């Protein structure tokens, strides 16, 4: 049975992805401005082991640079323009380090779902860095983050490194046959599922086992209401 953490109903997906450049400080500020109490963000590791906020393995889509995160050092990544691809008005936005983002969260009192999104073959190092970062640097005044990942391997490594972590398992198409076993092993608090698999039966199956259900990415108010009625705790939305 999972511990019952109180998650807010609305979590800003990559900040406020629908109206600002995702995973930037501007996006987190926007989500806060719109009233979100929590944001979701994706964390990976630069070539030289700095944790940054970034969704893709490549820098191409969300910056003015072409290259792989795992092959680019922080000294280059920190200089990139992470806003112009979205709109010229965000041309000053940078790719934040986790450290920089957490300073902002502390000042705004924003809660966080930290998704570990390791670059290929970086599952171990990224998970250990994240687990240690939370142990050593998470601000006392913030609620502890929900740590999620599609990589069960990453979650296992992170939990072993820091057994205090609050864990959410991320699934995209269906619940794998061994989901209960993994959830028990990691003492998961939530199961975070794609809206396309969020039917009544799946939601009930998860709730029955004592885990909270979080659903991504929901941008319709009607759909959100429907999910809350089915017992879903929170939705991730681009428009918090």
Q: What residue 192 binds from Mg ion, ligand G3P, none (CB within 5 to 8 A, per partner kind)?
A: ligand G3P
* Contact by Cβ (8 Å): 150, 172: yes
Tokens for 144?
């502890």
Own/partner contacts of 206-214, CB < 8 Å, gap of 24 or more, are 206/175, 207/231, 209/180, 209/183, 210/1, 210/2, 211/2, 211/183, 212/2, 212/4, 212/5, 212/7, 214/7, 214/11, 214/113, 214/168, 214/190
Nearer to ligand G3P, 42 or 93 (CB): 42
Residue nearest ligand G3P, Cβ-based: 216
Q: From the candidates 2, 10, 12, 13, give the one annotated as an active-site residue.
A: 13
Nearer to Mg ion, 76 or 197 (CB): 197
* Minimum distance, C-beta of residue 41 to Mg ion, in the bound complex (Å): 7
Contacts to ligand G3P from residues 137-166, by CB under 6 A: 148
Phi, psi values for residue 170, rounded to 5°:
-100, 130
Q: Is 93 in the site for Mg ion (CB under 5 A)?
A: no
Q: What is the dihedral of CA 78, 84, 89, 90, to 10 degrees?
A: -30
Among 22, 42, 45, 195, binds Mg ion (CB under 5 A): 42
Q: Is 195 in the site for ligand G3P (CB under 6 A)?
A: no
Q: Return all residues near 225 (Cβ < 8 A) that are at least 6 apart.
A: none
32 given a catalytic annotation: no
13 given a catalytic annotation: yes
* Minimum distance, C-beta of residue 68 to ligand G3P, in the bound complex (Å): 18
| Residues that bind ligand G3P in the complex, under the rule CB under 6 A | 13, 40, 42, 55, 115, 148, 170, 192, 216, 236
What positions carry a catalytic annotation?
13, 55
The contact set with Mg ion (CB under 5 A) reads 42, 115
């Amino acid at each position: 049975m999972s511990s019952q953490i109180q998650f807010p109903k609305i979590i800003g997906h990559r900040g406020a992805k629908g109206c600002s450049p995702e995973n930037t400080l501007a996006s987190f500020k926007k989500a806060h401005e719109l009233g979100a109490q929590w944001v979701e963000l994706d964390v990976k590791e630069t070539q030289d082991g700095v944790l940054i906020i970034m969704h893709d393995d490549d820098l191409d889509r969300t910056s003015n640079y072409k290259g792989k995160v795992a092959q680019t050092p922080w000294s280059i990544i920190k200089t990139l323009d992470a806003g112009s691809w979205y709109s010229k008005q965000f041309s000053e936005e940078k790719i934040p380090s986790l450290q920089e983002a957490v300073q902002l969260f502390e000042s705004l009192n924003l809660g966080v779902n930290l998704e570990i999104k390791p670059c290929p073959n970086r599952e171990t190092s990224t998970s250990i860095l994240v687990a240690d970062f939370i142990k050593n640097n998470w601000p006392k005044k913030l609620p502890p983050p929900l740590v999620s990942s599609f990589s069960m391997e990453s979650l296992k490594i992170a939990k072993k490194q820091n057994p205090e972590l609050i864990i959410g398992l991320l699934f995209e198409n269906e619940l794998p046959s061994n989901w209960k076993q993994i959830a028990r092993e990691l003492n998961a608090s939530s199961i975070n599922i794609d809206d396309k698999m969020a039917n009544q039966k799946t939601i009930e199956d998860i709730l029955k086992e004592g885990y909270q259900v979080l659903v991504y990415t929901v941008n319709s108010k009607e759909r959100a209401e429907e999910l809350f009625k089915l017992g879903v705790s929170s939705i991730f939305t681009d428009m918090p």
